[in-house]
Each structure stands twice: as structure tokens, then as C-alpha cells.
Amino acid sequence: MNEDSPMTVALQEAEMAAARGEVPVGAVLVDGDSGEILARAGNRTEADNDPTAHAEMLVIRQAASMAGAPRMTNADLYVTLEPCAMCAAAISFARIRRLYFGAYDPKGGGVEHGARFFQQPTCHHAPEAIGGIEESRAATLLKTFFEDRR
């Protein structure tokens, strides 16, 4: 991937989150037509003392606030880790068009693992979801982060 691709920017956000002592997850929300970055963030759960301050939630909140609308039907989300069930629900409610994620999360994921939120009959909107983008780089970042804390 080139150095200004959305997933590369998301990985940079994850690296900055790790440097702050946060679980290294980064997210970027882009306009689906122009590719313009609408919002970017890394996890801030520790810094904000907020269990909902996941990178995905932060970019959705930021972009929705800037747009003055709760739905972003023409936006694509790039995140370095498979979203959890909470984030998958927010992605659905925001009507995100496409989800691209890096590492799979067999323990806490909510898209391909766990709750599989988008496959539930109660899910009102399921984005196109594509996993494994820069998977090894994202997984290595997470593995190194947790190894360093043991």
C-alpha cells in the first residue's frame, strides 16, 4: 500500500495510539467517491477514561458532527482490527457503505467472529465488509504491544 492510502493512515493512527499506551487500533473514515479523509483516530479509551472511545467510534462521531448528520451512506471505514460488536453496531447505525479491516479478532471481533453483528436478523444495515487488508502489519503491531506489556 502506498504511504497515503487510508489503511496506511489507519496504521499510523494505531502506532500513535500504542505510543500513548492505548491498544494500537486506528481508524480512518473516507468519502467513498473522492477518497478524502473525513476523520482519523486511534483508540483513546485510557486517555478519555471511556470504554466506548474505540477508534471506529471516534471517527464516526467526528465525521457525523462535521457533517451535521448521523448517517454517512457514502463513507468507507478503514480500521486496523476487526471491529467489536459495539463498533459493528455503530457502523451499521451510521450506514457506513464499506468496511475494510486489517487483523481478524477471533476473541473480540463482532464482524467475522463472535456476534457477527451484520449477519443478525435485527441488523438494519450491513456494509460490504472486507477483512485482511494489511493483516500481518496490523497483527504484528498488536502482538508486539501486548508482548511488551507482559
* C-alpha to C-alpha distance for 74 and 20, rounded to whole angstroms: 32
Q: Which residues of 30-64 are buried (b: 16+ CB within 10 A; e: fewer)?
A: bebeeeebbbbbbbbbeeeeeeebbbbbbbbbebb
* C-alpha to C-alpha distance for 144 and 43, rounded to whole angstroms: 16
The two beta strands, 128-130 and 26-31, are unpaired
Catalytic-labelled residue, pool 13, 36, 46, 56: 56
Paired with 12 in beta bridges are: none
At residue 93, what is the residue type?
A: F
* C-alpha to C-alpha distance for 133 and 108, rounded to whole angstroms: 18
56: annotated active-site residue: yes
Paired with 100 in beta bridges are: 78, 130
- Return the active site residues: 56
